[in-house]
Amino acid sequence: MRRKFLARSLRRIGHALGLGILAIGLLGAAGNVAAAAVCCVAKRLRSVFNQILVCNLAIHTLYVFAAIAIQAYKELGGETFTLVFCNFLYAFKPMLMHSSTCLTVLMARERHKVSRRWSLRASHTWAQGFTTQGR
pLDDT digits (tens, 9 = 90+) for 79-134: 777 787 788 878 888 898 899 899 989 889 888 888 877 776 666 665 565 555 55
3-state helix, strand, coil in the chain (%, to 5): 95, 0, 5
**Helix H or strand E segment including 48:** helix 48-76
* Full-model pTM: 0.68
Residues found in the chain: 135
CA–CA gap between residue 100 and residue 56 (Å, rounded) = 6
pLDDT digits (tens, 9 = 90+) for 14-67: 777 778 888 888 898 999 999 989 888 888 878 888 888 899 999 999 988 888
